[in-house]
Chain A
Amino acid sequence: MKGLYCPLAHSRPDIHRDSEVNSVFDSIQIRSRTIQSLTTTDYSMDLSVNIGKLKLKNPVMTASGTFGYGEEYADFVDLNLLGGIVVKGISLKPMEGNPAPRICETPCGMLNAIGLQNVGLKTFLRDKLPYLRNFDTKIVVNILGNSVQEYVRLAKTLVDTGVDGIELNVSCPNVKKGGMTFGIDPRSLAKLITAVKRTVSSTVLITKLSPNVSSIPDFSRVAEDAGSDAISLINTIPALSIDTETWKPRLANVTGGLSGPAIKPIALRMVWEASQAVSIPVIGIGGITNALDALEFLLAGASAVQVGTGNFLNPKATIEIISGLAAYLRRKNIQTIGDIIGGMKGTKSGHNPDH
């Protein structure tokens, strides 16, 4: 340890044995073992799922806005292993986003008000999409607009380049126009989905629902009836945090969207309600950080999951979840992940999701 600053030399302990190092390491070692075995033996497990016509090699996708354009994670994750990548929301023109501070931490969660900062369609097609195309994974592009025409133009251009899926962002809480205005009004939502679906025809269209509505089943059915091939939920929950020293909101935008483990039980309830209400595939999002979280969403009826804030805590979260799911199937002696979907037991005499 030559050259280190240590004014109280006697306070430096001897190097500890590895066994004394706390449990963080144990879990990391276990994880790396399971990843190893996944790449060798666990391919016998069938993790593949279908989102409409879109076949994913496993049910683990990334949530829009938390995985950049994929390249940000290349140091940590073999992108080929992912079921799918949902890229940061793209608008026709670049958007510069909201002033700082844009994020703050809250207990077991975080608020963000990024404001949909993105490079815009042209740069995405020129600089970002070709990179993503190098990988053997499905590319879903999250799109956002201020009008039906804008969404249609985005969807058409993207589908023409051969992306695997389109996710409609109608639920961002952090912008003034567009975004959530479509997500919380059933009539404009139906109109938007119908128009976009007509344009994208055979490409899978996923509608990302807002949790900020009175009835998830109602909005899920609106999406299904209007022609959406799948729904994904939930987006973040509008929330507020205040600094008690300065009496100011902790975000420059005042409010932001809450994400992370704090919202998982809410998301899980909503995913369950949605999957009861519709027959199209549901993609579960909300506070997923490990394989057990993902399993809960699958049991609640989700056909796939998206990992969001979990990527920030642990950039390897997605691949650890994939290996964890394979290990779970093996332990439970289940051949295919499809057998888990919607498998929650003991709900017959329980709560009616419609009320």
Chain B
Amino acid sequence: MYKIFKAKVIDNLPLNKKNYLLTIEPLDPISEPSPGQFYMVGTGNSFDPLLKRPFSYFRKTAQAIQFLYTVKGKGTAQMKALKPGDGMQVIGPLGTGYPKPPKGYIPLLIAGGIGIASLFSLAECFTKKPSLIYGSRCKDDLLILNELEKLGSELITCTDDCSFGREGMVTDVLTNFLDSPSSKGTSYMIYACGPKPMLAAISQIALDKHIKGYVSLEENMACGFGACLGCSVKTGKGYKRVCKEGPVFPIEDIVW
């Protein structure tokens, strides 16, 4: 099994103006990832951009790995230009993914924006599909909705600008969801991925309501495998590496 491997691009599909779905085929034998883990994706031969970029995998099959990404900076702009057949170097799977919920707990998934990428594979692995709250700024940023519907999860969407689904942020929807009569007596285990302020707000709600759960964090990182210490975040037990001990952390551990 290779931890660093060559891959070639099978497809690089625009979902809308700024969001893409990249499909690559590893050319070396690699190990199976678990939901919440990520890969360091290197897209070019030049020194600018210099570093590989971390991406949670969206889906993994026997032959391919898929990544959902938003074009934001230099690295993703270069990724957007990838064509079928292009070669790349990838490291992974890396990090610690989402732990399974203990017996008696019902998973509740909460995604903000591109955070859906890391939660999709988690949703897929449950036999009884969990509820998923999925929010974004606008309708355009709600990705792969048809896939999510196919998944069979209870899907609650919301947008900040009310262009689709419920009005408002995932935190409002989450509060309503937890306060609804149907949630009475259920022990939820939250799994959340999205922008930092969203995760901080969800953590606060979870702590207030004594609900356990996990958040998947994002931080600048140089290596992805624990050496550079560039991605360390503050936790109740000292600084922890997003790439190694994370990206998934228990909600109560993170010092926001």
Taking Cβ atoms with an 8 Å cutoff, the residues of A that contact B are 1-8, 11-13, 15-16, 20-25, 27-28, 65-68, 72-73, 75-76, 88, 96-97, 99-105, 107-110, 112, 114, 117, 260-262, 289, 309, 311-316
Q: Which residues of B contact A65 (CB under 8 A)?
A: 228-229
Say yes or no: A72-B226 contact (C-beta < 8 A), given A4-B64, A6-B11, A28-B6: yes
The prevalent SS among residues of B at the interface is loop
B208 is an interface residue with CB less than 8 A from chain A: no
Contact B10 A3 (CB under 8 A): no
Q: Which residues of A contact B45 (CB under 8 A)?
A: 22-24, 27
In chain B, positions 192-240 with a C-beta closer than 8 Å to chain A are: 219-223, 225-234, 238-239
Closest residue of chain B to A264, judged by CB? Answer: B47
Give the interface size bracket for B toward A. 35 or more
Q: Which residues of A contact B80 (CB under 8 A)?
A: none
Partner of B51, one of A1, A3, A105: A105
B131 is an interface residue with CB less than 8 A from chain A: no
Bound complex: CA of A68 vs CA of B225, how far in Å? 10
Q: Which residues of A contact B230 (CB under 8 A)?
A: 102-103, 112, 114
Closest residue of chain A to B46, judged by CB? Answer: A108
12 example contacts (A-B, Cβ-Cβ < 8 A) are as follows A1-B61, A5-B21, A6-B13, A6-B23, A15-B10, A20-B85, A22-B86, A23-B45, A72-B225, A100-B234, A102-B229, A309-B50
Contact B87 A21 (CB under 8 A): yes
B48 is an interface residue with CB less than 8 A from chain A: yes
Contact B89 A108 (CB under 8 A): no
Render B17-53 as a binary contact track against A, CB cut-off 8 A, 1 for contact.
0000101010100000000000000100101111110
Contact A315 B223 (CB under 8 A): yes
Partner of A4, one of B23, B42, B91, B222: B23
Partner of A103, one of B47, B63, B88, B228: B228
Taking Cβ atoms with an 8 Å cutoff, the residues of B that contact A are 3-4, 6, 8, 10-11, 13, 21, 23, 25, 27, 42, 45, 47-52, 58-59, 61, 63-64, 66, 74, 84-89, 91, 144, 146-147, 219-223, 225-234, 238-239
Contact A102 B227 (CB under 8 A): no
- 7 A-B pairs besides A8-B13, A108-B47 with CB distance below 8 A are A5-B59, A13-B10, A97-B229, A100-B220, A102-B230, A103-B230, A312-B51
Contact B91 A5 (CB under 8 A): no
Q: Which residues of A contact B8 (CB under 8 A)?
A: 16, 21, 25
Say yes or no: A75-B225 contact (C-beta < 8 A), given A6-B11, A16-B84, A97-B239: yes
Give the top 5 A-B pairs by smallest Cβ distance, nearest first.
Answer: A103-B230, A16-B85, A24-B87, A13-B84, A312-B222
Say yes or no: A105-B49 contact (C-beta < 8 A), given A8-B13, A75-B3, A315-B4: yes
Contact A100 B228 (CB under 8 A): no
Q: Which residues of B contact A100 (CB under 8 A)?
A: 219-220, 231-234
Bound complex: CA of A252 vs CA of B173, how far in Å? 33
Partner of A11, one of B11, B85, B239: B11
Q: How distant is B81 from chain A, measured CB to nearest CB, in Å?
A: 12
Partner of A316, one of B4, B86, B146, B223: B4
Q: Which residues of B contact A13 (CB under 8 A)?
A: 10-11, 84-85
Closest residue of chain B to A23, judged by CB? Answer: B45
Q: How distant is B7 from chain A, measured CB to nearest CB, in Å?
A: 9
Q: How distant is A24 from chain B, measured CB to nearest CB, in Å?
A: 4
Q: How distant is B135 from chain A, measured CB to nearest CB, in Å?
A: 21
Contact B227 A68 (CB under 8 A): yes
Q: Which residues of A contact B229 (CB under 8 A)?
A: 65, 88, 97, 102, 114, 117
Q: Which residues of A contact B27 (CB under 8 A)?
A: 25
Contact A72 B84 (CB under 8 A): no
Q: Which residues of A contact B219 (CB under 8 A)?
A: 100-101
Q: Which residues of A contact B10 (CB under 8 A)?
A: 1, 12-13, 15
Bound complex: CA of A129 vs CA of B146, how far in Å? 53
Bound complex: CA of A23 vs CA of B87, how far in Å? 7
